[in-house]
Amino acid sequence: MKNRVAITGMGVISSIGNNLSEFWKNLKSGKNGISNITLFNTDNFDVKIAGESKVKLEDFFDRKELNKLDRFSAFAILAADQAIEQSNLIKNKISKDRIGVIVGSGVGGIGTFETQYKKLLKSPRFVSPFFIPSMISDIAAGHISIKYGFQGINYGVVSACATSNHAFGDAFKMIQSGLADVIIAGGSEAAITEMSIAGFSNMKALSKNPDKNSASRPFDKERDGFVMGEGAGILVLENLNHAKKRKAKLLGEIVGYGATADAYHITSPDPKGAGAEKAMLNAISDANIEKKYIEYINAHGTSTYYNDKVETQVIKNIFNKKSKDLCVTSTKSMTGHLLGAAGGIEAIATILSMNNSYIPPTINYSNFDPDCDLNYVPNKGISKEINYALSNNFGFGGHNSCILFKRG
């Protein structure tokens, strides 16, 4: 018999909150987390806005530590600290070789790469000996395990914008099968850098709308690309019986996981959405529930023309007439798109929505698109009891991932 998998801790770093209470307060109110970029000079850039986290890393790390950490690793550590504290893991005597860490990143230490490349241009001797271990995408998982002495499964997932959901899915299956009792899982990203913004902008993925109050507008007819965000979302996933024995607070459960490939294009989604549809159906099948019990979908909802159109059609294909009764929202309207960390903070948004019986809005919605005709909870949240909810994430490379949550 498979083990059930509970959520016993959550931690978040984002442009609308750097702890759970602040994050939820701002989600509920529909706060816009997009602002002018301050992390570098944007004078020569077409894109000048992003969803920056305002967390002050120097309040949590000394200078010596920060010299060894990329921003994405620092975010992951801070979010993990919150999640582990909420779970009360450290206060319980638990075998640390049964606690794992699976934390990924879409692009890893791109900020470190840029900084060190500028030093390389002056002389190879100036490149830091900490360059490689600061840059590699798996290193956040390593830092968390070293800090807490967790000796179980440990690695990083890299699957672009599907990273966090793949991390949750891997952790879910490992706990189900008994390979671990607890896994700290999620994603972290810090890609508001010169090279990253230039690259995404030149491939026409980013919005060119200069208005920070309307640029991230998922499902709106005038959408023209996503807005970059940054941060981390981490969950403590735990064998349900293990959690009950130590009297941990149960925040919810993961009950289903689906992952597929489009096998279509390196950046564009399959216009038919076959892979995304299969991932969602697999998650529902994995949970062994009927589709009618799902009330809410936290959509990938990137504010790009093709994603929002295709994702809408996929939802309609799966739920048919019931699709009109579903609430479908995009957290990215507030936070921007956190790439590999998107699924992390969106999982937390979904769990908070379920536990508080409230669905935050998709903000910046003003122009109806006939191709996007579902209930996106526009601009104002609603009270609604939710027992089952899906969270979608799709990434460059044709990666599709879907997690099905059950209320705690």
Beta-carbon neighbour count of residue 208 at 10 Å? 11
Name residue 206's beta-bridge partners. Answer: 226
Name residue 229's beta-bridge partners. Answer: 51
Name residue 337's beta-bridge partners. Answer: 228
Calpha distance 169→177 (Å, rounded):
12
User: Which region holds residue 171: left if phi is over 0, alpha if psi is between -120 and 50, else beta?
Assistant: alpha
**Contact call for residues 340 and 188 (beta carbons, < 8 A):** yes
Calpha distance 27→69 (Å, rounded):
29
> Does the annotation mark 166 as catalytic?
no
Active-site position among 161, 327, 372, 402: 161
> Does the annotation mark 402 as catalytic?
no
> Does the annotation mark 337 as catalytic?
yes
Rg of the Cα atoms in the chain: 20
Instruction: Using alpha carbons only, give the angle 190, 191, 192 rounded to the nearest 5 degrees.
Output: 100
Active-site position among 143, 166, 242, 300: 300
Q: Which residues of 367-393 are buried (b: 16+ CB within 10 A; e: fewer)?
A: eebeebebebbbeebeeeebebbbbbb
Neighbouring residues of 14: CB distance < 8 A, sequence distance ≥ 6: 23, 33, 51, 53, 229, 230, 231, 233, 335, 338, 345
Nearest C-alpha neighbor of 29 from the set 363, 384, 375, 365: 363
Nearest C-alpha neighbor of 205 from the set 214, 193, 195, 197: 197
H helix runs in 123-260, sequence order: 131-135, 139-148, 163-177, 194-202, 240-245
Nearest C-alpha neighbor of 251 from the set 19, 84, 82, 7: 7
Name residue 400's beta-bridge partners. Answer: 260, 394
**Contact call for residues 16 and 33 (beta carbons, < 8 A):** yes
Calpha distance 189→111 (Å, rounded):
10
Active-site position among 166, 242, 337, 399: 337
Calpha distance 231→71 (Å, rounded):
9
Active centre residues (catalytic): 161, 300, 337
